[in-house]
Amino acid sequence: MNKKTKKTVLFCAASLFIIVSWHIMAEAKTYAQVITDKLYSDEKAGFPDLTLPAPPDRTEREYLGLSGKNTFRVGDINAEIIIIEIFSFHCPSCQAQAPHVNKLYNNIQADPNLRDRVKMIGIGATNSPFEARSFKESHHVPFPVFSDEDSEIAIALNVKYTPTFIGVRVNGKGLQQQFYWRPGAFTNPSQFLQEILKASGTGLNKNN
C-alpha cells in the first residue's frame, strides 16, 4: 500500500469513526432527554367509556356536578379537565404521595380561574369500598374516591403501577379525551399542575 492510498484509508476510517460516534452521542442525548426531561406522555387518546357510581355524599356530587344522577361517566363531570389518581390502599408510594396530592387539590381550589374547571377523582385499584374509604379518611383526601375491587377500571386504563395520574379533557356533556399519562409520584404539586394544564391544550396554564 503506497503512502497516498494509506492516507486515504486512514481518512475514511477517521471520518467513519466521527460519523458513528456522533450518531451514538446523538442517540444517547435523545434517550437521556426522554428519561430526565419527560416523565409523562401527552399523547392524545380515547378514554374508555367507564361507568362509576355517583358519590353518596351530596357535597361530592355537587363538586362533580352530578346532581340527580345515580351513575356517571368521567365525561359527565362538570369541568374541562379531570385529574384521575389511580392509587391503592396497600401502596406505600401512594400513602407517601397523599400530602402532595392533597396540596395539588388545594392549589386548584384556591385559584378562582381553576376551581370550577379542573376537578379530581381517585380510583382505588384492587381496593374494596371499605379500603378505598379508609384510604380517603386516613389520608384526609378531599376529593371523591371510588373502589375498583376487581381492577376492571385499572385494566381498562392499562394501569400497571400505582400511583398513576391521568388527565382527561371533558365538557360535562360526554366528551372524553385522554391527554396526559404519568406513572409514578410527583414531589412538586405546583409544577405538576402546570404540566397538566400545558398538556391539556386549554390555555389555562397561561392564566396562572
Task: Please give the C-alpha separations between residue 65 and each of 4, 51, 116, 167, 205, in angstroms, as whole numbers.
Answer: 82, 15, 10, 18, 23
**HSE-CB for 19 with a 13 A CA cutoff:** 6
Which residue is listed with cell 432527554? Answer: 33
- CATH T-level fold of 45-207: Glutaredoxin (3.40.30)
Taking the C-alpha atoms of residue 46 and residue 180, their distance in angstroms, rounded to an integer, is 11
Strand order in the sheet with 145-148: 45-46, 177-183, 164-169, 81-87, 118-125, 145-148
pLDDT of residue 57: 94
In sequence order, the 6+-apart residues with CB closer than 8 A to the CB of 171 are 75, 80
Task: Please give the C-alpha separations between residue 70 and each of 32, 52, 122, 133, 135, in angstroms, as whole numbers.
Answer: 47, 9, 18, 19, 23
**Tens digit of pLDDT at every position of the chain (208 positions):** 554 454 444 444 434 433 333 333 333 333 333 333 557 888 899 999 999 999 999 999 999 999 788 999 999 999 999 999 999 999 999 999 999 999 999 999 999 999 999 999 999 999 999 999 999 999 999 999 999 999 999 999 999 999 999 999 998 788 899 999 999 999 999 999 999 999 998 888 876 6
Q: Which of 67, 68, 70 is nearest to 51 (CA)?
A: 70
Read off the DSSP letter of residue 41. B
C-alpha cell of residue 177: 379525551
β-pair partners for 145: 122
Please give the model's pTM, rounded to 2 decimal places. Answer: 0.80
Read off the DSSP letter of residue 55. P
Q: Would you say the C-alpha torsion 9, 15, 20, 24 has a positive or negative sign?
A: positive
Break the chain into its structural domains and give their ranges: 1-37, 45-207
User: Would you give the end-to-end CA distance of the chain in angstroms?
Assistant: 70
pLDDT of residue 208: 64
In sequence order, the 6+-apart residues with CB closer than 8 A to the CB of 72 are 51, 52, 54, 64, 66
Taking the C-alpha atoms of residue 179 and residue 42, their distance in angstroms, rounded to an integer, is 5
pLDDT of residue 35: 36
Within its chain, how far is the Cα of 55 from the centroid? 22
pLDDT of residue 38: 59
